[in-house]
Structure 1
Amino acid sequence: MQIKDFRIDQNLKERTEHRTVILPVACYETTITQNIHGHIPLHWHDEIQFVRIVKGEAVFQINEEKFILRQGEGIFINSGCLHMAEDRNESGCVYICLNVSPHFVVPRELYATHVAPYIQATNLSYLYLDSYQPWGKSILEAMMCIHDCIQRKPLNFEIDVSMHLTCMWKNLIMNCFQLTYDPSEAVKSERMKQMLSWIDIHYAEKITLNDIARAGQLSRSECCRYFKRILNTTPLNYVMDYRLQISLLLLQQDGSNVTEVAYKVGFNSTSYFIERFRKSMNMTPLAYKKSKMDA
């Protein structure tokens, strides 16, 4: 079952519980454009994630890096890393997403040695899974086996899922690079999350650059550099885009109207909200609301 509405808390941490009834594992097919936002918004979670593109192509961003993934390719996304995805060239991108608690990939006695160093490494935000490499192909095939197990639920499928996960993790760590932990990089990541968290809480209020910088314990110039490097935008442009994204959710609620939504997301002028919405979505807020009501 695809998650179409990514619910995130004030820290941009995804609130969706990734698990079956028994296992701390979730595996589902995602069509990017079917998400309520039209893309997979920026978020993070404690679970590690494996992705395999089964149709089309997508632009993924993990922390500050962007890259294209095409059909048959895959990626590992580490715990706690900010990431998002957009369909590329209207390809109708579909991917299989496997989210797993890091504590489940090996027995508890092996976690400190065989998992924790990889989860904590600051130079391992992601790892490309090459289907032309035997180890990458093995991981991607195991993903599909897990997906099939969870869909069909044959007898004792939980054991099969656990076995596949352990093999996937062994393949990944045996073909990983030399790990490093840079405290300064860890601090940068945390400060970025603090600023995004502050915006999530205060987006409906008047926001200045000083406010955002203060939330990350940074100067104004450093704050701007963080947003430029990681999100390729300015702090205040991010706030504008964030408000518009929230407005998409509110406009789809029964009984909502454009003026109320404008003020709820922090605009003090309905006409300016309509202007910015039209520029971003190529339609007015009212037209967007009607299109969703008629869908």
Structure 2
Amino acid sequence: MNKEEKIGLHETNKYKDLVFPVGVYTVTKAGIVPDGRGYKDLHWHEELQFTMVLEGTMKMRVNTEEYEIKKGEAIYINRNLLHITTFLTDDGKYASLNFPDKLLGFFSGSRMEQSDVLPFTVNYLFPIVVFKAEMGWQKKILQILKETIRILTSNKQKGQEYLISMNLTYIWHLLISNVRKDVKIPSKSYVRKQQRIQSMLSYIHENYMNDIKLEEIAGLVSISVGECCRCFQQLVGTSPNKYLLNYRIAKSMELLNSTALSVTEIAFAVGFNDFSYFIQYFKKSKEMTPTEYRKQKC
């Protein structure tokens, strides 16, 4: 199975075909195929991503902004940006197409790579683009993207790698041709905040089971507690403490689903020192107790 490694928030895609690193993840509320980062799973990766909504409506948050994407629309997300699907209708379904930017340059060191790929992907010149059918060039991208996803999710055919590569290159050509005049070099502050929040969130994901202090999180990137809280609010939409609590609840749900550990054991395993508070916060977050949640999943 085409699985990926989960190290904190960093998703490292493990492609089924290592000599043609292009993959599609199909996501619904029920899960993701193949295994990977799905609905309401904050993460970042080094690949470029085009996500197309196949059914229903979704909302995707990239950094501080949230974008609504409806059936037939799509969003481009640059490499190394934190993103999360915050909302998906019950009938919702979307496909995320991931691939490395080196695929667009033909070969390392090429003029295309130096002029038309790396300046846009490395420098965050345009972090996201939402595609809607009302604009001619965007409609064309949507058509090609839909066909590329269809090819990748159907039975493998001889020579399809060439067709997929041509499609992705054409999409990229249309994209940079139409946004080039509007791109701006991001500030050093913007890039620094990106790096800080990735480090702080990864620290939480790797140490959530321990007693984490706010001072530890801030000290990790050498900023004050106040600046740490502002950074979280701007880029994640919540406070560091609330994010930690919600992440612990998410991990407890995984254990409730996959282990026979008692609710008490799970509470302490995910970092809650007060069992009563765990029950209280779980019920507040999920509108049911941990035991009710476990029974519902059985």
Q: 3-state DSSP class of the match of 1:53?
A: strand
Contact 1:2/1:29 (8 A) holds in 2: no
* 1:1-295 alignment runs, 5 A limit: 8-10=6-8, 12-18=9-15, 20=17, 22-34=19-31, 39-88=39-88, 90-108=89-107, 109=110, 110-150=112-152, 151-176=154-179, 177-292=182-297, 294=298
- 1:290: Cα distance to partner? 2.2
Instruction: Indicate the percent of aligned positions where both proteins have the same amino acid.
Output: 31
Contact 1:29/1:95 (8 A) holds in 2: yes
Contact 2:28/2:39 (8 A) holds in 1: no
The change in CA–CA distance for 1:253 and 1:14 in structure 2 (over 3 A counts) is same
Distance, in Å, in 2 between the alignment partners of 1:23 and 1:2 is 13
- 1:291: Cα distance to partner? 2.1
- 1:257: Cα distance to partner? 1.8
Distance, in Å, in 1 between the alignment partners of 2:191 and 2:16 is 27
Count the aligned residue pairs.
289
Question: Which runs of 5 or more residues in structure 2 are unaligned?
Answer: none
**Per-residue displacement from partner, 1:24-77 (whole Å, max 9, x unpaired)?**
100242213435998331100001000111211111100111121111211100
Contact 1:52/1:74 (8 A) holds in 2: yes
The change in CA–CA distance for 1:157 and 1:37 in structure 2 (over 3 A counts) is closer
**Per-residue displacement from partner, 1:136-194 (whole Å, max 9, x unpaired)?**
11211112221222213222111111111110110111111223142221111101111
User: In angstroms, what is the RMSD of aligned CA positions?
Assistant: 2.1
The change in CA–CA distance for 1:93 and 1:64 in structure 2 (over 3 A counts) is same
State the TM-score, normalized to the length of structure 2.
0.90
- State the AA in 1 paired with 2:172: W
The change in CA–CA distance for 1:81 and 1:18 in structure 2 (over 3 A counts) is farther
- 1:116: Cα distance to partner? 0.4
Contact 1:209/1:235 (8 A) holds in 2: yes
Contact 1:120/1:181 (8 A) holds in 2: no
- State the AA in 2 paired with 1:277: F
**Per-residue displacement from partner, 1:64-91 (whole Å, max 9, x unpaired)?**
1112111121110000000000334x44
Contact 1:32/1:85 (8 A) holds in 2: no
Distance, in Å, in 2 between the alignment partners of 1:121 and 1:22 is 27
Contact 2:215/2:225 (8 A) holds in 1: yes
Contact 1:2/1:28 (8 A) holds in 2: no
Contact 2:27/2:38 (8 A) holds in 1: no
- State the AA in 1 paired with 2:295: K
State the TM-score, normalized to the length of structure 1.
0.91
